[in-house]
Amino acid sequence: MIIRQLSIFLENRTGRINEVARILAENGINMQAFSMAETADFGLLRLIVPDVDKAVEVLRAADIAVMVTDVLCVNSPNVPGALSAVLEKLAANGIFIEYMYAFSDGDSANVIIRPNNIEEAVRILS
Amino acid sequence: MIWNPNKECMSREQMRELQGKRLQKLVQYVYHNVPFYRNKMQEMNVSPEDIVTIDDIVKLPFTTKQDLRDNYPYGLQAAPASEIVRVHASSGTTGNPTIVGYTRKDLAVWSEVMTRCLTAFGVTRDDTFSVSYGYGLFTGGLGAHYGVENLGATVIPASTGNTEKHIRLIRDLNITGIACTPSYALYLAETLDKMGIDKSEIGLRVGAFGAEPWTENMRKEIESRLGLKGYNIYGLSEIMGPGVSYECQEQNGSHINEDHFYPEIINPDTLEQLPYGEQGELVFTTLTKEGMPLLRYRTKDLCTLMDGECPCGRTSVRMGRIVGRSDDMLIIRGINVFPSQVESVILEMPEFEPQYMLVVDRVNNLDTIQVQVEVRKDFFSDDIGSMLAMKKRLSDKLKSVLSIAADVRLMEPGSIERAQGKGKHVIDKRKLQ
Ligand SMILES: [Zn+2]
Burial of A119 by CB count in 10 Å (0-12 exposed, 13-18 middle, 19+ buried)?
exposed
* Domain end among B326, B353, B373: B326
Q: Are residues A62 and A80 in the same domain?
A: no
Task: Name which of A92, A83, A100 is nearest A33 in CA terms.
Answer: A100
Across the interface, whether the CB atoms of B413 and A65 are under 8 A apart is answered yes
Q: What is the pLDDT of residue A27?
A: 94
Q: Are residues B154 and B52 in the same domain?
A: yes
Q: B232 alpha carbon to ligand 1 midpoint, in Å?
A: 12
Across the interface, whether the CB atoms of A9 and B415 are under 8 A apart is answered no
- CB contacts of A36 in chain B (<8 Å) are none
Identify the bridge partners of residue B319 per DSSP, sorted by sequence position.
B254, B305
- CB contacts of B387 in chain A (<8 Å) are 9, 39, 42, 44
Q: B2 alpha carbon to ligand 1 midpoint, in Å?
A: 10
Beta strands across the sheet bearing B305-306: B154-156, B128-131, B177-180, B206-210, B229-236, B241-247, B254-256, B318-319, B305-306
Q: What is the CA radius of gyration of chain A?
A: 16
* Domain end among B326, B346, B367: B326
Task: Name which of A66, A72, A35 is nearest A53 in CA terms.
Answer: A66
Q: Give the one of B388, B409, B412 whose C-beta lies nearest to A9's C-beta.
A: B412
Question: What size, in residues, is chain B?
Answer: 433
pLDDT tens column, B315-338: 999 999 887 666 667 888 888 787
Q: Are residues A53 and A91 in the same domain?
A: no
CB pairs under 8 A between A and B: 45
Contact B297, B290 (CB under 8 A): no
Q: B37 alpha carbon to ligand 1 midpoint, in Å?
A: 35
pLDDT tens column, A72-121: 998 877 777 778 888 899 999 999 999 999 887 777 788 899 999 998 99
Q: Are residues A62 and A109 in the same domain?
A: no
Contact B243, B233 (CB under 8 A): yes
Contact B63, B285 (CB under 8 A): no
Q: What is the pLDDT of residue A8?
A: 92
Q: Are residues B294 and B359 in the same domain?
A: no
pTM higher than the cut 0.80: no
Q: Are residues A37 and A77 in the same domain?
A: no
Q: Are residues B145 and B277 in the same domain?
A: yes
Q: Are residues A55 and A96 in the same domain?
A: no
Number of domains within chain A: 2
Determine the structural domain holding residue B423 and report its residue range. Answer: 330-432
Q: What is the pLDDT of residue B93?
A: 47
Q: Are residues B308 and B425 in the same domain?
A: no
Q: What is the pLDDT of residue A26?
A: 94
Determine the structural domain holding residue A89 and report its residue range. Answer: 71-125
The DSSP call for residue B39 is H
Q: What is the CATH number of the domain that holds B210?
A: 3.40.50.12780
Phi, psi of B409 (to 5 degrees): -115, 120
Q: State the 10-residue block means of pLDDT for chain B, 433 residues long.
A: 96 97 98 97 96 97 92 96 95 72 98 98 98 93 97 96 93 97 87 93 97 80 94 96 97 97 92 93 97 96 92 96 73 80 83 86 88 88 89 92 89 72 70 54
Identify the bridge partners of residue B206 per DSSP, sorted by sequence position.
B177, B229
Contact A57, A92 (CB under 8 A): no
Q: How many CB atoms lie within 10 A of CB A87?
A: 15
Q: Are residues B82 and B33 in the same domain?
A: yes
Q: Are residues B190 and B225 in the same domain?
A: yes
Full DSSP string of B237-304? TTTTEEEEEEE-TT-SSEEE-TTTEEEEEE-TTT--EE-TT--EEEEEEESS-SSS--SSEEEEEEE-
Query: Is residue A14 very low, low, confident or very high in pLDDT (cuts 50, 70, 90)?
Result: low
Q: How many CB atoms lie within 10 A of CB B194?
A: 11
Contact B295, B63 (CB under 8 A): yes
Q: What is the pLDDT of residue B245?
A: 98
Q: Are residues B260 and B380 in the same domain?
A: no
Q: What is the CATH number of the domain that holds A13?
A: 3.30.2130.10
Mean pLDDT of chain A: 87
A80: distance to nearest CA of chain B, Å? 30
Q: Are residues A81 and A99 in the same domain?
A: yes
Q: What is the pLDDT of residue A43?
A: 87
Q: Give the one of A13, A65, A98 whose C-beta lies nearest to B383's C-beta.
A: A98
Q: Are residues A8 and A29 in the same domain?
A: yes
Q: Give the one of B382, B409, B415 whose C-beta lies nearest to A67's C-beta.
A: B382
Q: Are residues A54 and A98 in the same domain?
A: no
Contact B193, B216 (CB under 8 A): no
CA–CA dist B211, B334 (Å, integer)? 5
> Which carries the bigger pLDDT value, residue A1 or residue B417?
A1
Q: Are residues B101 and B122 in the same domain?
A: yes
* Domain end among B326, B351, B381: B326
* Domain end among A48, A66, A84: A66
Across the interface, whether the CB atoms of B409 and A41 are under 8 A apart is answered yes
A63: left (phi over 0), alpha (psi -120 to 50) or beta: left
ipTM for the whole complex: 0.80
Contact A56, A6 (CB under 8 A): yes
Chain B's closest residue to A97, CA to CA, is B383
- Cis before residue A50, ω within 30 degrees of 0? no
A108: distance to nearest CA of chain B, Å? 27
Task: Name which of B168, B180, B262 is nearest B222 in CA terms.
Answer: B180
Q: Give the one of B384, B388, B412 whose C-beta lies nearest to A65's C-beta.
A: B412
Number of domains within chain B: 2
Q: Are residues A6 and A53 in the same domain?
A: yes
Identify the bridge partners of residue B242 per DSSP, sorted by sequence position.
B235
Across the interface, whether the CB atoms of A64 and B387 are under 8 A apart is answered no
Q: B287 alpha carbon to ligand 1 midpoint, in Å?
A: 22
Q: Are residues B322 and B334 in the same domain?
A: no
Q: What is the pLDDT of residue A78?
A: 72
Contact B55, B367 (CB under 8 A): no
Q: Are residues B238 and B285 in the same domain?
A: yes
Contact A32, A50 (CB under 8 A): yes
Q: Are residues B60 and B89 in the same domain?
A: yes
Q: Give the one of A5, A46, A64 whose C-beta lies nearest to B412's C-beta.
A: A64
Q: Are residues B78 and B214 in the same domain?
A: yes
Q: What is the CATH number of the domain that holds B388?
A: 3.30.300.30
- CB contacts of A67 in chain B (<8 Å) are 380-382
